[in-house]
């Protein structure tokens, strides 16, 4: 069942109050709504850019740190400027947004402000009625999103178990790419699982820092019940992105198990399997199917005690496989990590 | 064995020790005689006081039992007020009117911060006009909390909202203008975490500008600087955890040496509680964070008896029953851990506690009920012998507190401590009840269980990285929402006896006018322009110190003279990166 409403939720800049929005996100997805969560401390520009890229029906903002009248107005104005005024805006802030504020905000184009004590059902009903079935989603790059490159972009697939650090790794690669090539345009296609029969929480953006940039186009897809870590729309999006004038396209799968080989029939030009150094025993290593086909194996979390052993074991494991495979040890969470530098060079060459 | 596992063992060993003392008091006549002699001396040392109605009471409440075992349980298990393990209090007399010329604890501390530095300065003077000791507790606005300048893209609306806007050392001079910063009776608290070292450096530099270098050793106060709880709960961390901890350790190393009266970190459960944690989770995460800092600072070669006495704690106090005894249990676990695992002396065993009433327990609907909620929480805080306390204003759910409700909140504390007879005649009037003991035992057991879980995950840092505390807090918050939604957690005016929204008269809201915000932006730009020839070099030098492993705080004291907060964080981001949020 395709979700009928797709929302982007976020907490404004200089505000870390994510408790309310975390609860609301869960309620939304349990009621069939797809939520792209951008996280806290996000600027109006970041929010509007993400909303347009993600093709959402509306933006929900949870603000508890004041300055909401200006902030919401900025979001509405930016949407208008980007010719995306059809994207709705709603929000709340417990008791911090007064009735008088809400009146001003609604006059400035905010659809609805929820006050403290609003039952969750009312919020869900509102989201469905106001934003449900608004428009058909197409696999098309939004206005102003495409890059300028004439040739087809190389596509790099990144997969691996959940928690291995795939999203962090992409974000760190993006940082390097944008620094080395200031006119670079990068596309990211990310995947998150849907709960069967329900919505999906697409949360990769919330942990990304450097990919919140006008030069980066990112789209988050829900798997919608598809096995293997990708979505029914994946192939179409990859094609669109490859021809979208970008310099590189990253495709990140959901966290996969041992048997999965998500990238079929030349979907990607290069595949990276990211694993954590704490995979368990050597026997477990033998069972990981992706190790046989990945072009690059990244052993992340190289700061863990068992990392040197892991790198050696993985090296031995793939030696017996096809030639040309590389093993790179990284600590993606570390700033300026030499391992990530090395991976970056490998991908650029 | 990890520190947390050793702490669990020490607590159990202490329980065995207490049981052994009880047994000896009952069975060993020589031991009993010595114990009873000490007990009689203690009793004799307690002064009596006459109440206004003319009855006479001892100033300290002790068990009335003559059973030697019971006396041993009290003395070794709880500790006489001011004695190990400090269950009753860390000092012998807390709120009693001064005896022997010593000033009693004067715990009222009011949090304030709004608009620009001079607006908050005015509020500070208003709040402290009748107080003997001046305790300034500072709230910062969003951009300052996130280390951003007021002229940064997209933050204009946030300037001066919810706290004071501080961009430069000059703002810091304005903020505490007309206060004698080196005065014995003045202390300054600054609620700031991610950029804490930069803000403290600005404070020290501002004090030095106004009073000369000699004032530095006299400065009293605290910065929150609790980075771990930011990752776990409050999300106001800006640098990666490893770099944040290094900047913190640099700051603690510096203050230990040069600001001997400063509390360089306030280990905070408040935000963990406010983010949704249960009281047990709040206590367990806060204490385990505290022990982690002790390990960190010791790892930097600092002596536990040097920095230990300068650590302080900050807990939430809400309406759940656990709050009757939560801080009592925390004091005990801290004392045992510090003494038996870290070999700390008595000064470092004392858990110095600041309490704030729960903001989460307050609601906008029928908001005057918040006066009652806060009053009850205040009572619980004092029941737990807190060393200082902030009472929330009833209007906080919807605005920066207005003067009327700030005054009511302050007066609630005075009514409790000065007007009622609950705390001014006798220490520990309410402790020692069977109910309280049952609660203490239950809480202690649950907190130790949490310690063991964190230990199994590899300790506090590993658990934090695995998002353990964070996900537990979120789960508890979710449950709380469900309970308020379905009414199993009654909240008057919200899900029971609902306040009519029709009759809700919106109270006055305090906001910072546009012109004030623009003024802040303008003078920041002027500051940057005036220092344009020095700032680039100062930032390079700062970056050099970060790269070479020198003391970053010592360098910041120079950097803040010519660089703004945002210029400094911006440069540090280049060197150490930004914090990557987890959800």
Q: Output the pLDDT for position B447.
A: 98
Domains of chain A (ranges plus CATH)?
A: 6-131 (3.40.50.280), 155-348 (3.40.50.300)
More confident residue, B474 or B100: B474
The percentage of residues in chain A with a pLDDT greater than 90, rounded to a whole number, is 64
With cut-offs at 50, 70 and 90, classify the pLDDT of residue A105: very high
Q: Output the pLDDT for position B508.
A: 65
Question: What whole-number distance in Å separates Cα of residue B403 and Cα of residue B234?
Answer: 27
More confident residue, A256 or B446: B446
Determine whether the interchain pair B578/A209 forms a contact, defined as Cβ–Cβ distance below 8 Å: yes
Element housing A198 (H / E): none
| Mean per-residue pLDDT over chain A, rounded | 90
Question: What whole-number distance in Å separates Cα of residue A298 and Cα of residue A291?
Answer: 10
With cut-offs at 50, 70 and 90, classify the pLDDT of residue A135: low
Among A28-37, A150-159, B65-74, B131-140, the range scoring the smallest mean pLDDT is B131-140
10 Å CB burial of residue A266 (0-12, 13-18, 19+) is exposed
Determine whether the interchain pair A18/B583 forms a contact, defined as Cβ–Cβ distance below 8 Å: yes
With cut-offs at 50, 70 and 90, classify the pLDDT of residue B102: very low
B164 touches chain A (CB under 8 A): no
Among A120-134, A252-266, B208-222, the range scoring the smallest mean pLDDT is A252-266
Question: What whole-number distance in Å separates Cα of residue B405 and Cα of residue B393?
Answer: 5
Contacts of B363 in chain A (CB under 8 A): 95, 116-117
Among A34-48, A177-191, B496-510, the range scoring the smallest mean pLDDT is B496-510
Q: What is the mean pLDDT of residues A74-84?
A: 96
**Contact predicate A89/A58, CB 8 Å:** yes
- Residues 6 or more apart whose CB falls under 8 angstroms from that of B29 comprise none
Among A129-138, A297-306, B254-263, the range scoring the smallest mean pLDDT is A129-138
pLDDT of B380 > 70? The answer is yes
Q: Output the pLDDT for position A321.
A: 65
Determine whether the interchain pair B161/A67 forms a contact, defined as Cβ–Cβ distance below 8 Å: yes
**Contact predicate B580/A168, CB 8 Å:** yes
Coil/strand/helix, residue A143: coil
Identify the CA nearest to B8 among candidates B432, B459, B405.
B459
ipTM value: 0.92
Question: What whole-number distance in Å separates Cα of residue B583 and Cα of residue B574?
Answer: 24
Identify the CA nearest to B407 among candidates B423, B428, B393.
B393
| Other CB atoms within 10 Å distance of the CB of residue B546 | 20
DSSP letter string, B89-144:
-SSS-SSSPP-TTPPPP--B-EEE--SSHHHHHHHHHHHHTT-SSEEEEEEB-HHH
| Cα dist from B274 to A292, B231, B234, B442, B522, whole Å | 49, 14, 9, 22, 36
Question: What whole-number distance in Å separates Cα of residue A38 and Cα of residue A58?
Answer: 13
Question: Burial letters for B331-357: b for 16+ Cβ neighbours within 10 Å, e otherwise?
Answer: bbbbbbbbbbbbebebebbbbbbbbbb
Q: Which residues numbered 387-406 in B keep a CB inside 8 Å of some CB on A?
A: 397-400
CATH T-level assignment (fold) for domain B110-486: TIM Barrel (3.20.20)
Determine whether the interchain pair A14/B145 forms a contact, defined as Cβ–Cβ distance below 8 Å: yes
Q: Taking CA atoms, what residue in B is nearest to A14?
A: B142
Q: Output the pLDDT for position A3.
A: 47
* Sheet of strand B311-317, all strands in order from the earlier edge strand to the far edge: B265-268, B311-317, B353-357, B388-390
| Mean per-residue pLDDT over chain B, rounded | 93
pLDDT of B505 > 80? The answer is no
In degrees rounded to 5, what are phi and psi of residue B136? Answer: -105, 120
Question: What whole-number distance in Å separates Cα of residue B329 and Cα of residue B316?
Answer: 14
Residue range(s) of every CATH 3.20.20.240 domain in chain B: 110-486
Determine whether the interchain pair B153/A168 forms a contact, defined as Cβ–Cβ distance below 8 Å: no
Residue to mutate among A66, A105, A341, with most B CBs inside 10 A, is: A66
**Contact predicate B538/B528, CB 8 Å:** no
Identify the CA nearest to A34 among candidates A150, A193, A168, A167.
A193
pLDDT of A266 > 70? The answer is yes
- Residues 6 or more apart whose CB falls under 8 angstroms from that of A47 comprise A8, A10, A12, A38, A59, A61, A75
Determine whether the interchain pair B275/A14 forms a contact, defined as Cβ–Cβ distance below 8 Å: no
| Cα dist from A317 to A159, A312, B342, B486, whole Å | 18, 9, 45, 55
Q: Output the pLDDT for position A346.
A: 94
With cut-offs at 50, 70 and 90, classify the pLDDT of residue B92: confident
With cut-offs at 50, 70 and 90, classify the pLDDT of residue A285: confident
A122 touches chain B (CB under 8 A): no
Q: At what angle do helices B196-211 and B565-576 cross, to 10 degrees?
A: 140
Q: Output the pLDDT for position B108.
A: 64
Q: Taking CA atoms, what residue in A is nearest to B484?
A: A117
pLDDT of B155 > 90? The answer is yes
From the list B235, B397, B580, the residue facing A207 with the nearest CB is B580
Q: What is the mean pLDDT of residues B85-103?
A: 73
Q: Output the pLDDT for position B104.
A: 53
Q: Output the pLDDT for position B106.
A: 61
Contacts of A13 in chain B (CB under 8 A): 142, 146, 154-155, 158
pLDDT of B207 > 90? The answer is yes
- Residues 6 or more apart whose CB falls under 8 angstroms from that of B464 comprise B228, B231, B232, B241, B470
Instruction: Write out pLDDT tens, residues A185-202.
Output: 999 999 988 876 678 999
Question: What whole-number distance in Å separates Cα of residue A118 and Cα of residue B494?
Answer: 10
Cis bond leading into B85, ω under 30°? Answer: yes
A44 touches chain B (CB under 8 A): yes
Question: What whole-number distance in Å separates Cα of residue A196 and Cα of residue B257?
Answer: 59
Q: Output the pLDDT for position B432.
A: 80
B243 touches chain A (CB under 8 A): yes
Determine whether the interchain pair B158/A43 forms a contact, defined as Cβ–Cβ distance below 8 Å: no
Identify the CA nearest to A48 among candidates A16, A81, A97.
A81
The percentage of residues in chain B with a pLDDT greater than 90, rounded to a whole number, is 81
Question: What whole-number distance in Å separates Cα of residue B46 and Cα of residue B477?
Answer: 45
Q: What is the mean pLDDT of residues B184-207?
A: 96
Which range of A110-124, A141-155, B31-45 scores highest in mean pLDDT? It is: B31-45
DSSP classification of residue B349: H
Convert B455-502 into a string of H (helix), E (strand) and C (coil): HHCCCHHHHHHCCHHHHHHHHHHHHHHHHHHHCCCCCECCCECCCCCC
Q: Output the pLDDT for position A258.
A: 79
Instruction: Write out pLDDT tens, residues B544-582.
Output: 999 999 999 999 999 999 999 999 999 999 999 999 998
Q: Which residues numbered 79-98 in A keep a CB inside 8 Å of some CB on B?
A: 94-98
Question: What whole-number distance in Å separates Cα of residue B285 and Cα of residue B463?
Answer: 10
Contacts of A97 in chain B (CB under 8 A): 398
Determine whether the interchain pair A67/B145 forms a contact, defined as Cβ–Cβ distance below 8 Å: no
pLDDT of A335 > 80? The answer is yes
Residue to mutate among B140, B142, B148, B482, with most A CBs inside 10 A, is: B142
CA distance A60 to chain B (A): 17
Q: Output the pLDDT for position A89.
A: 98
10 Å CB burial of residue B177 (0-12, 13-18, 19+) is middle
Identify the CA nearest to B338 among candidates B85, B70, B53.
B85
Q: Taking CA atoms, what residue in B is nearest to A19?
A: B275
> What is the sign, positive or negative, of the torsion defined by CA atoms of B494, B499, B500, B506?
negative
* Residue A154 structure tokens: 């190389």
| Cα dist from B371 to B358, B361, B362, whole Å | 12, 11, 9
Question: What whole-number distance in Å separates Cα of residue A115 and Cα of residue B367?
Answer: 14
Q: Taking CA atoms, what residue in B is nearest to A164?
A: B466
Q: Which residues numbered 469-508 in B keep a CB inside 8 Å of some CB on A?
A: 474, 477-478, 481, 485, 494, 506
Strand partners, B134: B186
Instruction: Count CA atoms within 13 Å of residue B131 on its CB side.
Output: 21
10 Å CB burial of residue B296 (0-12, 13-18, 19+) is middle
Contacts of B494 in chain A (CB under 8 A): 116-117
Q: Output the pLDDT for position B507.
A: 63
In degrees rounded to 5, what are phi and psi of residue A34? Answer: -90, 125
pLDDT of B103 > 50? The answer is no
pLDDT of A117 > 80? The answer is no
Q: Output the pLDDT for position A1.
A: 39
Q: Which residues numbered 137-176 in A keep a CB inside 8 Å of some CB on B?
A: 168, 171
Element housing A268 (H / E): none
**Contact predicate A276/A331, CB 8 Å:** no
Instruction: Write out pLDDT tens, residues B553-562.
Output: 999 999 999 9
More confident residue, A4 or B303: B303
A67: region left, alpha or beta (phi > 0 left; psi from -120 to 50 alpha) = left
Identify the CA nearest to B319 among candidates B91, B483, B445.
B483
Q: Output the pLDDT for position B501.
A: 62
Q: Output the pLDDT for position B583.
A: 76
pLDDT of A61 > 50? The answer is yes
Question: What whole-number distance in Å separates Cα of residue A225 and Cα of residue A198?
Answer: 10
Q: What is the mean pLDDT of residues B129-133?
A: 81
Determine whether the interchain pair B153/A43 forms a contact, defined as Cβ–Cβ distance below 8 Å: yes
């Amino acid at each position: 069942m395709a979700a009928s409403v797709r929302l982007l939720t976020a907490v404004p800049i200089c505000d870390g109050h994510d408790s309310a929005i975390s609860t609301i996100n869960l309620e939304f997805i349990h009621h069939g709504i797809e939520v792209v969560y951008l996280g806290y401390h996000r600027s109006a520009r970041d929010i509007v850019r993400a909303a347009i890229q993600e093709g959402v029906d509306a933006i929900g903002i949870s603000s508890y740190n004041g300055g909401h009248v200006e902030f919401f107005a900025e979001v509405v104005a930016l949407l208008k400027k980007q010719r995306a005024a059809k994207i709705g805006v709603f929000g709340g802030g417990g008791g911090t947004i007064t009735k008088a504020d809400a009146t001003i905000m609604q006059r400035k184009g905010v659809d609805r402000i929820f006050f403290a004590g609003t039952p969750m059902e009312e919020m869900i009903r509102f989201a469905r009625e106001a934003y449900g079935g608004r428009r058909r989603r197409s696999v098309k790059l939004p206005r102003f999103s495409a890059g300028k490159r004439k040739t087809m972009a190389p596509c790099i697939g990144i997969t691996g178990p959940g928690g291995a650090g795939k999203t962090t790794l992409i974000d760190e690669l993006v940082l390097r790419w944008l620094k080395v090539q200031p006119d670079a345009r990068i596309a990211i296609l990310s995947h998150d699982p849907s709960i069967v029969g329900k919505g999906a929480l697409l949360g990769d953006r919330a942990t990304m820092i450097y990919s919140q940039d006008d030069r980066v186009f990112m789209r988050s897809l829900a798997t919608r019940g598809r096995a293997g870590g990708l979505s029914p729309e994946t192939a179409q999006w990859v094609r669109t992105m490859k021809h979208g004038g970008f310099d590189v396209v990253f495709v990140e799968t959901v966290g996969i198990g041992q048997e999965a080989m998500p990238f079929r029939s030349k979907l990607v030009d290069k595949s990276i399997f990211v694993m954590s150094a704490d995979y368990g025993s050597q026997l477990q290593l033998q069972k990981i199917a992706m190790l046989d086909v990945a072009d690059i194996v990244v052993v992340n979390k190289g700061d863990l005690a068992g990392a040197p052993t892991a790198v050696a074991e993985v090296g031995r494991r793939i030696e017996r496989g096809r030639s040309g495979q590389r093993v790179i040890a990284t600590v993606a969470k570390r700033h300026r990590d030499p391992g990530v530098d090395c991976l970056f060079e490998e991908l650029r060459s | 064995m990890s520190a947390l596992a050793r702490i669990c063992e020490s607590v159990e060993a202490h329980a065995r020790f207490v049981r052994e003392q009880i047994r000896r008091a009952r069975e060993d006549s020589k031991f009993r005689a010595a114990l009873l002699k000490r007990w009689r001396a203690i009793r004799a040392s307690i002064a009596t006081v006459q109440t206004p109605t003319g009855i006479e009471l001892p100033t300290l409440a002790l068990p009335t039992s003559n059973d030697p075992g019971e006396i041993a349980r009290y003395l070794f298990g709880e500790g006489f007020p001011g004695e190990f393990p400090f269950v009753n209090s860390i000092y012998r007399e807390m709120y009693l009117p001064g005896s022997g010329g010593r000033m009693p604890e004067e715990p009222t501390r009011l949090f304030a911060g709004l608009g620009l530095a001079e607006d908050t300065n005015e509020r500070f003077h208003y709040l402290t006009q009748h107080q003997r000791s001046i305790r300034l507790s500072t709230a910062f606005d969003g951009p300052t909390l996130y280390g951003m300048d007021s002229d940064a893209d997209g933050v204009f609306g946030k300037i001066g909202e919810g706290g004071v806007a501080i961009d430069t050392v000059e703002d810091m001079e304005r903020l505490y203008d007309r206060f004698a910063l080196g005065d014995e009776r003045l202390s300054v608290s600054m609620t700031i975490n991610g950029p804490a070292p930069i803000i403290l450096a600005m404070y020290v530099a501002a004090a030095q500008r106004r009073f000369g270098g000699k004032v530095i050793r006299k400065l009293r106060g605290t910065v929150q600087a609790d980075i771990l709880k930011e990752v776990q709960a409050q999300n106001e961390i800006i640098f990666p955890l490893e770099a944040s901890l290094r900047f913190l350790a640099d700051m603690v190393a510096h203050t230990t040496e040069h600001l001997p009266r400063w509390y360089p970190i306030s280990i905070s459960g408040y935000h963990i509680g406010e983010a949704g944690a249960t009281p047990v989770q709040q206590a367990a995460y806060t204490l385990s964070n505290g022990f982690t800092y002790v390990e960190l600072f010791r790892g930097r070669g600092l002596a536990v008896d040097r920095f230990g006495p300068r650590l302080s704690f900050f807990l939430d106090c809400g309406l759940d029953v656990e709050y009757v005894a939560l801080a009592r249990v925390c004091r005990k676990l801290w004392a045992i851990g510090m003494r038996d695992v870290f070999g700390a002396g008595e000064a470092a065993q004392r858990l110095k506690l600041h309490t704030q009433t729960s903001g989460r327990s307050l609601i906008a609907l029928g908001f005057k009920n918040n006066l009652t909620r806060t009053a009850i929480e205040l009572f619980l805080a004092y029941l737990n012998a807190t060393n200082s306390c902030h009472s929330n204003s009833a209007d906080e759910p919807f605005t920066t507190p207005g003067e009327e409700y700030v005054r009511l909140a302050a007066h609630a504390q005075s009514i409790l401590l000065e007007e009622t007879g609950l705390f001014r005649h006798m220490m520990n009037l309410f402790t020692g009840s069977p109910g309280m003991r049952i609660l203490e035992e239950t809480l202690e057991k649950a907190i130790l269980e949490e310690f063991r879980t964190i230990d199994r995950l590899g300790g506090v840092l590993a658990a934090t990285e695995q998002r353990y505390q964070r996900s537990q807090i979120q789960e508890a918050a979710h449950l709380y929402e469900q309970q308020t939604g379905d009414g199993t957690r009654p909240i008057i005016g919200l899900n029971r006896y609902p306040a009519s929204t029709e009759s809700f008269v919106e109270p006055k809201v305090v906001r910072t006018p546009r012109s004030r915000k623009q003024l802040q932006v303008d003078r920041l730009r002027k500051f940057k322009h005036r220092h344009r020839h020095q700032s680039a070099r100062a930032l390079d030098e700062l970056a050099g110190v970060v790269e070479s492993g020198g003391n970053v705080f010592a360098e910041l004291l120079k950097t803040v003279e010519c660089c703004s907060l945002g210029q400094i964080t911006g440069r540090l981001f280049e060197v150490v990166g930004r914090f990557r949020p987890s959800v």
